[in-house]
Structure 1
Amino acid sequence: MDHSAHHTDTTHHHAPEHGGGHAAHQGATWGTAAKATLHCLVGCAIGEILGMVIGTALLWGNVPTMALAISLAFLFGYSFTLFAVRRAGLDLKSAIKVALAADTVSIAVMELVDNLIIALTPGAMDAHLTDGLFWSALLGGFAVAFVITTPVNKWMIGRGKGHAVVHAYH
């Protein structure tokens, strides 16, 4: 029996640059965290803008409009992940669990920061969709939310939570 052939085979499997499945849980890179946050941001932004547009078009007040915007932000945020893991072959029930585990904290932090900034920006709550103030407060809120949410996602991914759950299916 030739043991040298077996020995050379195993040395190639331990190369650290090949980032295997378990290596990803050791610590998340800022790039991974930023990508997960951007993914979340897109879903949140679509939902929130849609909610603002619908609420404004229906002449709703600030509270019901914000409630709709936040609800749609969660819905779109979850649906992006849901679509990705369903496409990876997960059944609907498991996919919903993964989306809830991956996105809840990320979306909640994103929405909290964004809506706080909109609420604290003088005149932003009463600005119309045609006003620059409305869009600058919304986009500025998302920019700050991105900066705050990225380290949260990095911390969660590093502990095998949040978007780390989704990466197991890619």
Structure 2
Amino acid sequence: MRLICLALLALAACDVAVSREPADPRASAIVARGRAIDGDTVSFDVRLHGADAYERKQLCATASGCWQCGKAAQDYASRLLKSGNATVRLTGSASYGRPVGTVEIGGRDLGEAMIAAGLAIPVTGYLKGRPEQARRYMAAYQAARAAKRGAHAGSFTEPAKWRRGERLACEAKPGRR
């Protein structure tokens, strides 16, 4: 009996030791441009995997005119991030020089929440190896569209097209129409 207890303790100690050190030390490393918030706090950008939100300066249109859907997307993401601890799982790919990953806050997928609010669109081409995530993102998109949430209350330019210079008529600068 004593030998069994010692063996179980030894196995438990090995398990703890193994869980403290990842098998591949690079698995826990993040390579990204960082910035200092203050002397002992840093921040870095992670692009959401499979979700493309409206850009900060992007406008969307309703019957009453343009509104700041990009700023609304930023504010919504900020509120969600402030609501709890975020878990970031990197996908191993990069976009616009930034790491890409999924972000969960309290078990809720940030990309899916942004899509459900009508403040992002799914990019399922990036989710080919994740059919369940692609299905959830498309279901969130269809629900937002049916309920006319966020940008679905009117018209919008897809974020990728907006980054390439495509604009709604109400976004045109005076004298350039």
Q: TM-score, normalised by structure 2?
A: 0.28
Larger fraction in strand: 2
Q: TM-score, normalised by structure 1?
A: 0.29
Q: Which structure: larger Rg?
A: 2
